[in-house]
Structure 1
Amino acid sequence: MAQMSMIEAIRSAMDVMLGRDENVVVFGEDVGYFGGVFRCTAGLQEKYGPTRVFDSPINESGIVGAGIGMAAYGLRPCVEVQFADYIYPAYDQIVSEAARLRYRSAGQFTASMTIRSPCGGGIFGGQTHSQSPEALFTHVSGLKTIVPSTPYDAKGLLISAIEDDDPVVFLEPKRLYNGPFDGHPDRPAQSWAGHPQGDVPEDHYTVPIGKARLVRDGFDATIVTYGTMCFVAEAAVSETGIDAEIIDLRTLLPLDIDTIANSVRKTGRCMILHEATRTSGFGAELSAQIQEECFYNLEAPIVRVTGWDTPYPHAQEWQYFPGPERVGRELTNLMEAAS
């Protein structure tokens, strides 16, 4: 075990896979010589050379398109889109080509590629550097969508993603990159303290794709969340004293509905918490599936706590995020609600 931040854990995952499999290549904007805008690939080009870790033009569609072609012919590209906000030019390549390649070729080709991208807020980046577009990918058959919340999970899930024979969208909450984060949006310095955040094995290991993590056992209510909001949920539970169970999805697609449903059947109350906007956010799909599985166990309506339905507010970033105060207030209301 070594103490690693999420950035270090992600870098370690790529390091392990580059050393383990000669078919793994890493590329994207500024990921080679410079080591990435967040330094996730720092030192990898020097270690493995410019044919394994290299820079690309500023062309997200080209980055993903090239990765699909490489994957179809046997490589395992791990490509970086510098910010999730820039992934939209590549959306057609991801949806129309990568996600459908196995089916369209009757299994002759697979898009064994991983698309990494920092997501969410935490750097006062406004609406062009702080979006959370995960719901756009969970609608697409043939894709897997991952959002880790801890360094241990980040490394294990990234290795699983690179080893997977199908395309994986791997979204990294940048507010957790250099942790620790105590869940309070009014204390942003906590998320950029530069201190190690968790114990991570230095060698190869995997975390299974499609399996949620129980963050906290509880009996009063279930909070279903992922990414940065796991820490917000923990802070809200601590400050309200409500004995809520917290589930970190880790993987949005495939979804571990069994773990969610078992928890909601036990507690009878459910809150869904995410940073992205409310309307058509992933929480809507979660709410529908939980209602289908647990309708007769629910003692109150399912509650969603999310970002605002607005363009991302640059000057009001820390008000936009659901924080412990807002989550705690809604959790208290949930406990008081009647079915």
Structure 2
Amino acid sequence: MQEAAPLYVPPKGLGTSDDKTSVDAKGYFIYNWVYTPSNRADVMALKSAVPDPRKNPAAFYEEVEGAISSCTMTLADIDLFFRLILQPDMWRTVCKVDDRVVFGGSWKELEQMDRDREPAKKPYQLILVLRAAILVKLKTIISPKKIDWTVLASCKQKADESVSDFFTHFEEAFHDFSSQLLSDDRGRHLFVDKYVANLLPGIASRLKASESSWTTSTPVSLLTMAQYYERQELEAKGSEDKKIKELKTKVMLAQAYGPLFRGSDRGGRGSYGSSYTHSNLSVYQWAYCKKCGHWAADCPALRVQQCSRGRGQMRNHSGYSGPRRSTNDHARVDANVRGQDGFNTFDRRNQYQMSNYVQPDFQDFAYA
């Protein structure tokens, strides 16, 4: 019976199982392992059972997790296994960043430890950790839990209007993001930098200048600190913006209606002429006068005045608010003054009118 062709042929120059001193560790273990018929059959069976990671990532991860957990694979076994079931670009993404394994240590260092172990023993504890790290990294690549930065950014922009909604999204993103972080420095700061750049651009400088070292702090502590700084700034900004918003509303009303709002533009031909009416003041009495710095209700220019004919009222600066005298009243009072030496001969009505009569020469009692 003719033996099947090998799955992997080592490059020229690599040794065989009889020449262990001159071989590259990775090539030797792959070569040795794939030429074992039982192992090769197992790999082919596993490969046929594993779904396409791009089409069904959840099922793929479940199968791979079960296969790695149930097999006592060496580092070379793991390497070949993933080379068979993964696309080359995906496997490179899982295993290496700048020619180094993202979960710590170079391939050669790990392979040397794997080669030096006693054959009778189970795989090194380091290899078990390596498997778990590969699975974690693989899961984040084939089935990443994406963070919707757009929603968070728009929510951050509206934080002044709905701070509670922003904090809700912030907490969700915080937990989702923390679950994706790896324990290595490169992965940690890569994710933290991305998080800060997308969500907290104004916090990065405070984080790096804080007591906790940017390079040694854990991701959770960094993000917790970022969250704390963000909450502080938002609360302070929200409180200040609330005051500014209230003032802007008042100033806007004052500017729109003006400190001197006239009731009619027809020059006094309306029912109330161009006076300031009760209705005008009651509507805008809480408007803020930006120029004078007082409320409309306290503005002397907005005092209630009615200049209608006959029985209308006027208020002068002395506090008098009495019946307005017509032209006939003035003539009758003037006639009485000319015909008498004093006021004791006036009737009651003329006495009241004369006691409150204001001549133009008396500036202290000029009408407002």
TM tier relative to shorter chain: under 0.3
Name whichever structure is richer in strand by fraction.
1
Instruction: Report which of the two structures shows the higher radius of gyration computed on alpha carbons.
Output: 2
Name whichever structure is richer in helix by fraction.
2
Q: What TM-score results when the alignment is normalised by the length of structure 1?
A: 0.24
The structure whose RCO (Cα within 8 Å, separation 6+) is larger is: 1
